[in-house]
Amino acid sequence: MTLPNNEKNHLFLGTFIHSKRLDELQYLHDTAICVNTTGKIVAIEPECDQSKAEASLYPKLGWTTHDVIVTAAKEGQFFFPGFIDTHLHAPQYPNVGIFGKSTLLDWLNTYTFPMEASMASLSKARKVYTRCVRRTLAHGTTTATYFATIHVESTNLLADLCLSMGQRAFIGRVCMDQLGPDYYLDESAEQGLAATRANIAHIRSIDRDFELVSPIITPRFAPACSADMLRRLGDLAAETRLPVQTHVSENVSEIALVRELFPDSPHYTGVYEQAGLLGDRTILAHAIHLSDEEADLVARRKAKVAHCPCSNSAITSGEARVRWLLEKGIDVGLGTDMSGGYSPSVLEAARLACLVSNHLAMPNKQADGCSQSEKEKSKLSVEEVLYLATRGGAEVVGLSSKVGSFEVGMDWDAQLIGLDMVSEEAVDDYTDDGGNVEIFGWETWEDLVAKWLFNGDDRNTKKVWVRGRLVHERRS
């Protein structure tokens, strides 16, 4: 099936903010953006209001006023690219916040495998996945890169739900033929491959050109896959040119386990390299404890990194050196990594990316072989973490020509952000539903964005569009 067009064209008016480059946000004020029925941006016009758009843009586009839905940002509102969550586990959604003092390997056995195994029930999977997609859309996540479970039926269902709810998504049936408990394992590498092919075929049947929903080849992580399975998945990636996602170098005990399980590999990253799984469409989650040699290999292969600061802080995995990765030329995006991460929000991940980068610079600790000036350099700015949340994520998922910023020819994957102005008249009036960002009126635009980053939540995400389709709207 091919995707249907939207019924109407769109005109968006007001302030648009997006990343121009890593350390710079561009502010487009009093601007008009036109989006056609295929969801594509067809015009970006500065110093333009509705009447000017009707007079000068509509004729060029062949639009008439009754073809067009007009959305104007009000005072305290702006348009921002939709967030890209480059790493999360949909079946773990009910477990968010529940991790105790565990670290990766005991966390998997205690909380994660039992929950994932329960997605064998389609009715449970429907409930969990529906809430996960709803909730992430509400937080402005227009593209999500999902790990599902080993189950074909429920993984197919996740793809169906993303398509019907309108979230751009990569859907990975999880491949794992070792390490997991008896009740939650692929029977064999062969069976795992067949199941993965069945999932790919299903997604092909609902979205022929993978315009909105795409399969992604998903070996869970090296310790959970036999060398045979990894090799077969590498071959599948070569055959299909589909993207690949997995985990790497998240936790020191995990790394030791990989060394034990794959004694012939030079290092963790080498395991994927040897299997043909390390390429320019590969997303590696975490990449915290990579050696220089590994990071150089990742860079050479143009593989990508999903940085998951909430998760890494919560289950005490480590502090990924994002600056160091970026300086090696590696594309980095953000992942919520639910439920290693506790939050469905990419904004929270961006906030934590700031804080984790600060933790790398803390004066009371010594990072491995890192001088104080290198440590200072590690700090990520507001602009940088918002880049990671949008354009950086688009690079990571291979969609940078389509989403992550506002350019003619790109898709309209966007969110309308609204911040509360403190009213002069009603200073003692507490409005429940505007969220925690309060604007007093003396702030610069840079201040507004910083306030949003640090105190914003889903209450500030008023509307969300994917491919020009309105996929979420707050009632209040």
Shortest Å distance, C-beta 60 to its own copies:
38
Q: CB-based contacts of 91: which residues, under 8 Å, 6+ apart?
A: 115, 116, 119, 125, 128, 129, 147, 148, 149, 154
| Pairwise CA distance, residues 80 & 393, whole Å | 14
Q: Do residues 213 and 169 lie in contact, with contact meaning Cβ atoms separated by under 8 Å?
A: yes
Where do contacts with its own copies occur on this chain (CB under 8 A)? 94, 96-101, 126-128, 130-131, 134-135, 138, 252, 288-289, 313-314, 316, 318-319, 342-345, 354-355, 358-359, 361-368, 379, 381-382, 422, 424, 427-428, 430, 432-433, 436-438, 440, 442-443, 447, 450-455, 457-459, 472, 474-476
| Pairwise CA distance, residues 218 & 237, whole Å | 10
Look up residue 112 and give its DSSP letter.
I
Shortest Å distance, C-beta 365 to its own copies:
5
Shortest Å distance, C-beta 310 to its own copies:
9
Shortest Å distance, C-beta 182 to its own copies:
22
Q: Do residues 145 and 90 lie in contact, with contact meaning Cβ atoms separated by under 8 Å?
A: no
| Residue number with CB closer to its own copies (61 or 470) | 470
Q: Do residues 145 and 87 lie in contact, with contact meaning Cβ atoms separated by under 8 Å?
A: yes
| Residue number with CB closer to its own copies (56 or 316) | 316
Shortest Å distance, C-beta 164 to its own copies:
10
Beta bridge partners of 18: 26
Shortest Å distance, C-beta 276 to its own copies:
29
Shortest Å distance, C-beta 314 to its own copies:
7
| Residue number with CB closer to its own copies (31 or 167) | 167
List strands edge to edge, sheet with 332-334: 213-215, 168-172, 141-147, 83-89, 332-334, 304-307, 282-286, 244-248
| Residue number with CB closer to its own copies (57 or 385) | 385
| Residue number with CB closer to its own copies (301 or 307) | 307
Shortest Å distance, C-beta 436 to its own copies:
7
Shortest Å distance, C-beta 475 to its own copies:
5
| Residue number with CB closer to its own copies (296 or 443) | 443
CA 86 to chain centre: 3
Look up residue 432 and give its DSSP letter.
G
Instruction: List, in sequence order, the alpha helices (H) in 139-274.
Output: 152-165, 189-206, 227-240, 252-261, 268-274
| Residue number with CB closer to its own copies (160 or 395) | 160
Phi–psi pair at 31, nearest 5 degrees: -115, 155
Q: Do residues 212 and 249 lie in contact, with contact meaning Cβ atoms separated by under 8 Å?
A: no
| Pairwise CA distance, residues 353 & 86, whole Å | 14
| Pairwise CA distance, residues 63 & 53, whole Å | 10
Say whether 149 sits in a helix, a strand or coil. coil
| Residue number with CB closer to its own copies (84 or 315) | 315
| Residue number with CB closer to its own copies (239 or 429) | 429
